[in-house]
Chain A
């Protein structure tokens, strides 16, 4: 069982927007702004999409955005494209010893 809770799956049609939630606790998501999101295509390594809750690395489309409210972080993908179909994982800093906790991953299907 993962420390952070994500929906197992979400779906949307091309051009639509989808939001993936990531619920933690006051010890991880609620306590730190080191929340990141990773896209993982089948058989591939994860790819950083969002860091520090809202920041996008160079090369990541502006269609990807992140936010946080309390102990829940969210990833929103606007203007869905077929290539966005993948698994998405959230991650939060959780303190010195636990360090990082992840969600169980969400499978995004583009209809």
Chain B
């Protein structure tokens, strides 16, 4: 059974930093494309970042230069380092499997972790 478990969400002041983690079981994160998707309160979903199996990364324009996605293969975990946080980054952040063997869609999701940016 595949499980993705996010952690690290918290209340942080504007300009602050936070590191989210997504611990995976049932899949090997380094063999998959792994994405972060966020949902602001009462809003739709927004793709944030992807970490390709080969190690390359992509980011939404809204977070480029501020967020960094990475993985720890020894812990089968994906991280999202978020710096220079803004009020508009307030959202539930989901970790999701993005692609496996050329099949691209979000088939597995974590339960989400809430990030609140406020003074």
A binding-site residues for B, Cβ under 8 Å: 2, 34, 36, 38, 44-48, 51-52, 57, 89, 91, 93, 96-105
Contacts and interface: CB of A to CB of B under 8 A. Distances in A.
10 contacts: A38-B45, A45-B94, A46-B45, A48-B105, A98-B60, A99-B58, A102-B37, A102-B46, A104-B43, A104-B44
Interface string B100-115: 0001111101111000
Contact of B45 (A44, A52, A102): A102
Grouping DSSP codes into helix (H, G, I), strand (E, B) and loop, the B interface class, with mixed when no group exceeds half, is: strand
A103 B35 CA distance: 17
Interface of B: 35, 37, 43-47, 50, 58, 60, 94, 98, 103-107, 109-112
Contact of A100 (B47, B94, B112): B47
Contacts of B46: 2, 102
Given A36-B105, A36-B106, 4 more contacts: A51-B107, A96-B58, A98-B60, A99-B50
